[in-house]
Structure 1
Amino acid sequence: MCLWNNPGNDTTGVLSRTRKLANTSKELLGADVYHYHSKLMMKEAKTGGKFVWHQDYGYWYNFACLYPDMLTVFIAMDKTDQENGCLQILRGSHRCGRLDHGVVAGQNGADLKRVAALEEVLDTVFVELNAGDALFFHSNLLHTSSANVSQRRRWAILSCYNTTHNSPHEKIIHAHYEEPLQLLDNEAVLKTGVNRDLNGKDIVVKTDGNYVHYFS
């Protein structure tokens, strides 16, 4: 996994600045938003591992965000299904508030007893997507994904948006609100095409549990 705070001007940066993504996020959250960070999730064929049940705000709470007024846009780059480890969600779990998180199978996961209780009363949904489909979900939504046991990769870009009133109160890892997002027309992605210009883009790679910053 790698992530970046500054959207930049490459194809991924253009994507996260489109009105379709940013304005939809604003509408869902009911407040102005900024680009918190984006990340590339790469589940390779036969090797992509499982992610335990968690909430994004389970992490972001510890990154100095006071409120869960945040969301993620999961954009499938490949067809995602149960065989190659598609996203699974507990429908309606965002209403439960932030759950305690701790180390679960070597990952930062939600309280297993509470998750098990919620599984008894909420529907588990397998989010099967075609390439180009997107899912918008709240930062308190419980989600997981199984290992990729198929012969196909499962890549996805996740663009995360925070409300401008919820800028982290400490300087930790992800972006603070500084200025309004420079929005682009939805057609800008097609017009840009494959653009690998990483100038000014900060890349954060997680290695052995530590975050390492690379600046271009």
Structure 2
Amino acid sequence: MTLQMDLPASTSDDYPTRKNTEPALLYRKDPTVWGSGEGPFSSEEIEGYARRGYTQVASLVSDEEVKTYYAELERLGSDPALRGDERVIIEPSSEEVRSVFEVHKLSDVFAELVNDPRLVERARQILGSDVYVHQSRVNYKPGFGGGSFYWHSDFETWHAEDGMPRMRACSFSIALTDNYTHNGALMIMPGSHETFVSCTGETPENYYRSSLKSQNVGTPDEASLTYLADQHGIDVLTGSAGDVTVFDSNCMHGSGGNITPYPRSNVFIVFNSVENACAKPFSAPAPRPEFLSARDFTPVGR
């Protein structure tokens, strides 16, 4: 049985964005770790996550599993039946597949992964409740042309366009290829999760259709990015295939393009607390489609 409901009205807005003509830096009003601390993460890992906004787990996924997931990633990216599907995002400059969304509904392999206790129990430990999948996707960053992802806070979009009330979600990035400093590895400003960048601009109708390829509205301004980088620095998250990076919904992060011969691909799963289910958007005319912002709040891993 799945749990779906009509969207309630948004609660009071502690993180206003896309409403003013000037950007602003706002203090975070939510904890980073909502749980008691008990779970598969060690106390050191949880403390590091709370301080930096992210943690990495080496070799959480086996080599055989990586092969299985990578084969499934390639199958989805090359499936001609999916080429016209709205869930498949194409690089505007190369016609290469950039991302495939809602992969846990397109693939039995990834449906099993989003229910994997190695992921779900860690998400529960951080978020302090049962969790559901807010979004899933596979990201392709092939050699010789994989595009960049500009600096952003996921929560800014999820709050503005999806109606996510609180910073009570976390993302799991499962590396399916080795991540080097030179092939478009994830970059995070450690500690930036404590500051919310309120962005300028008004969200156009059906903005997701263009923003998934190149985002303009909801993009942090250069002065705010410079301040956060000066305050916190930038970590480049390298690692091996099978490593998992877990990061807070409000971390300022991005990645450069990939002009090396070495691809950088990953599976990306967003877990949100069932107590933080999305309501009506705070700064958009209508919610994004369900493949970007799930409206099925059924707990996973149960």
Aligned pair 1:141/2:251, yes or no?
yes
What amino acid sits opposite 1:180 in the alignment?
P
Paired residues of 2:141 and 2:264 also in contact (CA < 8 A): yes
The equivalent position to 2:112 in structure 1, one of 6, 14, 27, is: 14
Distance in 2 between the 1:3 and 1:140 partners? 20
Distance in 1 between the 2:185 and 2:171 partners? 16
Larger radius of gyration between Structure 1 and Structure 2: 2
The equivalent position to 2:199 in structure 1, one of 65, 88, 100, is: 100
Unaligned runs of at least 5 residues, structure 1: 184-216
Instruction: Give a deviation string over 1:184-203, Cα, whole Å, max 9, x none.
Output: xxxxxxxxxxxxxxxxxxxx
What amino acid sits opposite 1:181 in the alignment?
V
Q: Counterpart of 1:51? A: 149
The equivalent position to 1:132 in structure 2, one of 239, 242, 246, is: 242
Alignment of 1:186-201 (within 5 A): none
Aligned residue pairs, count = 182
Aligned pair 1:68/2:167, yes or no?
yes
Distance in 2 between the 1:148 and 1:55 partners? 21
Secondary structure of the 2:125 match is helix
Distance in 2 between the 1:85 and 1:101 partners? 27
Instruction: Give a deviation string over 1:17-46, Cα, whole Å, max 9, x none.
Output: 111111101111222211112111000101
Inter-CA distance 179–107: structure 2 relative to 1 (3 Å threshold): closer
Q: Counterpart of 1:120? A: 230
Paired residues of 2:172 and 2:247 also in contact (CA < 8 A): yes
Paired residues of 1:64 and 1:172 also in contact (CA < 8 A): no
What amino acid sits opposite 1:121 in the alignment?
Q
Inter-CA distance 87–80: structure 2 relative to 1 (3 Å threshold): same
What amino acid sits opposite 1:40 in the alignment?
V
Alignment of 1:27-46 (within 5 A): 27-46=125-144
Paired residues of 2:114 and 2:300 also in contact (CA < 8 A): no
* Bigger shift: residues 90-99 or 121-130: 90-99
Q: Counterpart of 1:168? A: 278
What amino acid sits opposite 1:20 in the alignment?
R
Q: Counterpart of 1:181? A: 300
* Bigger shift: residues 12-21 or 131-140: 12-21
Inter-CA distance 92–101: structure 2 relative to 1 (3 Å threshold): farther
Inter-CA distance 5–11: structure 2 relative to 1 (3 Å threshold): closer
Inter-CA distance 139–8: structure 2 relative to 1 (3 Å threshold): same
Distance in 2 between the 1:156 and 1:97 partners? 26
Distance in 2 between the 1:81 and 1:5 partners? 25
Secondary structure of the 1:117 match is helix
Cα RMSD after superposing both structures: 2.1
Instruction: Give a deviation string over 1:153-208, Cα, whole Å, max 9, x none.
Output: 1111001111101111145421124432244xxxxxxxxxxxxxxxxxxxxxxxxx
Measure how far apart 1:123 and its partner are. Answer: 2.2
Distance in 2 between the 1:63 and 1:14 partners? 25
Give % identity. 25
Distance in 2 between the 1:142 and 1:175 partners? 23
Secondary structure of the 2:140 match is strand
Runs of 4 or more above 3 Å deviation? 5-9
Paired residues of 1:6 and 1:35 also in contact (CA < 8 A): no
Bigger proportion of residues as helix:
2
Bigger proportion of residues as strand:
1
Inter-CA distance 45–9: structure 2 relative to 1 (3 Å threshold): closer
- Structure 1 length-normalised TM: 0.77
